[in-house]
Amino acid sequence: MKWNNIGHEYDDVFEEYKRVLEKHNNRIVFFGAGNYGKKCLRRLHADFIIDAFVDNDKSKEGQYINEIKVISYEEYLKSDGYIVITVKNPENRKALIEQLLSDGKTESDFAEWDFFFDKIYPVLLLYMYEKVYVPVVELSLTERCTLKCKKCAHGCGYVPMNMADMGVDAAEQSIDTLFRHLDRVGNFYLIGGETLLYKNLPIVLEYAGNTYRDHMENLMVSTNGTIIPSDEILEIAKRFNVMFNVSNYTKANPNLTELRNKVIDRIVSFGCRCNQFEQDRDWMDYGFDFVDRKGNVDEMTRVFDGCDTLCREIRGSRFYYCIQARAVSENMHFNVSEDDYLDLDKLSGLEGKRIFFEYANGFSEKGYIDMCNYCNGADCKDYIIPAGEQMPR
Ligand code: SF4
Ligand code: SF4
């Protein structure tokens, strides 16, 4: 989207949410005081206060979760409040929606947790508390990789193994710059290439955990499951409740299974969190090696507007909307993403926060980024390919 009113693109959206909240006496309540409700509470920035939990389970009535009272559904009906349904199971969620509708509530009186966290909460946090929230930011420490996947979304299969990694100073400076402007991130990823090839990972992980863990809902390390993490890395990871994301390319590469299992066993037996992807998870082909829109601005804008990539990147003071675009542009030598970033060093004050938020949500001078010329964007779903098929070395 092109900036038309830079620094004020969300003014109307906020006014709309404000009206909705005023209708509910400016109260926000979480419906569901179970484990998922508690998890949703942990996602909130410390400044963002909700008024109560509501639960149908009478045994929870009167309890407190982090000083927030659990009230009965009947009490909620008397006291009102904008409802956020904080229940994960889709069937249970559906039942709560039916309950609310049958009691005369309308869809403008409540939101499901994912819509709330993706759309409503970031705008309220910015306009009411002057804090910026972005769901995902990644820091790529190395472009080198132990694998050479066809259609790697970062083009890492084309990178020589002697390519220089990011220096420790540059990595720490990137993290510092990001959190000078960002108050809360959903998932902060240290990635590659293969992240565990990065020899200074213990230093950078320790730095991110020590300095900014409170600003992150999750601190993640991605790995392709070909390197067993050292005890030093695991010890730091355990201390900062780091999640290892272990990708799974064993369907296309059964020979990777044994090593991948060892990697997972090591992480789990050390007591660290481990997210193991399903084997049959396919990829969508971005088409960087065959799409060419010939510089057609309308087409690039259409592709950008239809694209829902979440993966922002911090690199020095540069904040990229699309890490795939930055990485592929460099690693596959398109060299077209020279101005496709926001320079965080040029931002300051509340206006700067709003510009940062708008950029992170897809606003820019051009309304697209140059790599969209070579990308399938949302049309990726029509190009399903096996995950992690290897090119010859
Ligand atoms: S997709 Fe494959 S080549 Fe690309 S970074 Fe991951 S493991 Fe490496
Ligand atoms: S369409 Fe553009 S923004 Fe979306 S993934 Fe492709 S290059 Fe990135």
pLDDT for 393 beyond 80: no
Burial zone of 327 (CB within 10 Å; 0-12 exposed, 13-18 middle, 19+ buried)? buried
Question: How far is it, in rounded angstroms, from Cα 329 to Cα 176?
Answer: 25
Q: What is the pLDDT of residues 320-369, one digit of tens each?
A: 999 999 999 999 999 887 789 999 999 999 999 999 999 999 999 999 99
C-alpha 204 to ligand 1 mean position (Å): 21
Percent of the chain with pLDDT over 70: 100
| Largest distance between two CA atoms of the chain | 68
- The per-residue pLDDT for 186 is 94
Q: Which atom of ligand 2 is nearest to the CA of 377?
A: 1
- The per-residue pLDDT for 267 is 98
Burial zone of 381 (CB within 10 Å; 0-12 exposed, 13-18 middle, 19+ buried)? exposed
What is the dihedral angle through the alpha carbons of 14, 19, 20, 24, rounded to the nearest 10 degrees?
Answer: 130
Ligand 1 pocket test, candidate residues 156, 221, 285, most atoms within 8 A of CB: 156
Mean pLDDT across the stretch 66-90? 94
Mean pLDDT across the stretch 241-252? 96
Q: What is the pLDDT of residues 365-388, one digit of tens each?
A: 999 999 999 999 988 889 999 999
Mean pLDDT across the stretch 250-255? 94
Residue/partner pairs of 365-369 with CB below 8 Å, 24 or more apart: 365/2, 365/3, 366/2, 367/1, 367/2, 367/3, 367/301, 367/304, 367/305, 368/297, 368/300, 368/301, 368/303, 368/304, 368/305, 369/300, 369/304, 369/321, 369/322, 369/325, 369/337, 369/340
Question: Is 356:181 a contact under the CB 8 Å cutoff?
Answer: yes
Pocket of ligand 1 (CB under 6 A): 145, 147-149, 152, 154, 156-157, 192-194, 224, 388
3-state SS assignment for residue 199: coil
Domains and CATH numbers, the chain: 11-128 (3.40.50.720), 132-385 (3.20.20)
First to last CA, the chain: 40
Concatenating the DSSP letter of every residue in 79-126 gives: H--EEEE---SHHHHHHHHHHHHHTT--GGGEEEHHHIIIIIHHHHHH
pLDDT for 280 beyond 70: no
Q: What is the pLDDT of residues 199-209, one digit of tens each?
A: 999 999 999 99
Q: Order of strands across the sheet with 68-72? A: 64-65, 68-72, 52-55, 28-31, 82-85, 110-112
Nearest CA to ligand 1 atom 1: 152
- 105 pLDDT tier (thresholds 50, 70, 90): very high
pTM, entire model: 0.93
Residue 49 CB contacts under 8 Å (≥ 6 apart), including other chains = none
Nearest CA to ligand 2 atom 2: 372
C-alpha 143 to ligand 1 mean position (Å): 9
Mean pLDDT across the stretch 58-84? 94
- The per-residue pLDDT for 287 is 94
Question: By mean pLDDT, which of 272-276, 279-283, 353-357 is the weakest?
Answer: 279-283
Closest by CA position to 351, among listed 2, 5, 1, 120: 5
The whole-angstrom distance between residue 267's C-alpha and the CA centroid of its chain comes to: 23
Q: What is the pLDDT of residues 142-153, one digit of tens each?
A: 999 999 999 999
Q: Assess whether the C-beta atom of 355 lies below 6 angstroms from ligand 2.
A: no
Q: What is the pLDDT of residues 33-47, one digit of tens each?
A: 999 999 999 999 888
Q: What is the pLDDT of residues 168-225, one digit of tens each?
A: 999 999 999 999 999 999 999 999 999 999 999 999 999 999 999 999 999 999 999 9
- The per-residue pLDDT for 277 is 82
C-alpha 55 to ligand 1 mean position (Å): 44
What's the DSSP call for residue 13?
A: H
Question: By mean pLDDT, which of 106-115, 141-150, 232-241, 272-281 is the weakest?
Answer: 272-281
Ligand 2 pocket test, candidate residues 138, 154, 286, most atoms within 8 A of CB: 286
- The per-residue pLDDT for 103 is 94
3-state SS assignment for residue 11: helix
